[in-house]
Amino acid sequence: MKYTDEQLSTRAKEAFDESVEKLDASTLSKLNRSRHKALAELAHPARHQWLRWMPATGIAAAVLVAVMIMQSPSGVEDVIAPANVTDMEILLGEDSIEMLEDLEFYSWLDLAELETDNDVG
């Protein structure tokens, strides 16, 4: 005898249904607990709302960091580094510190010179 497609499906369905009927009490109990745990979600729907955004937020943050790293030109560090070195030289040099302390004076001096030039002109 050769089964048709329909007969094979029917036989498979019968065997499957029988295996479902034979599930043991322990498994049925676990299923029952799972169902009640799922239904408890109805009572506390908002509890996990923020968790839903966690994967998206994580991915967005990772993408942002990746884009920043990729977009960052290699020359930026070269430009910043001398500036930082210059800052350090200014801060560490004794003369420069004195100049910085008198910055208001030099500004006033520049302004005064400009006004004098205007008066003369």
Binding residues for another protein (CB under 8 A): 1-3, 5, 8-9, 11-13, 15-16, 18-20, 22-24, 27-28, 30-31, 34-35, 37-39, 41-42, 45, 48
Q: From the CB of 65, what's the least distance to another protein, in Å?
A: 23
State which residue, 11 or 65, has the beta carbon closest to another protein: 11
Backbone angles phi, psi at 111, to 5 degrees: -60, -45
Q: From the CB of 4, what's the least distance to another protein, in Å?
A: 9
Query: What residue type is 66 in one-letter code?
Result: A
Q: From the CB of 52, what's the least distance to another protein, in Å?
A: 9
Q: Could you tell me if 62 and 72 are in contact, meaning their C-beta atoms sit under 8 angstroms apart? A: no
CA distances from 80 to 5, 67, 69, 83 (A): 74, 20, 16, 5
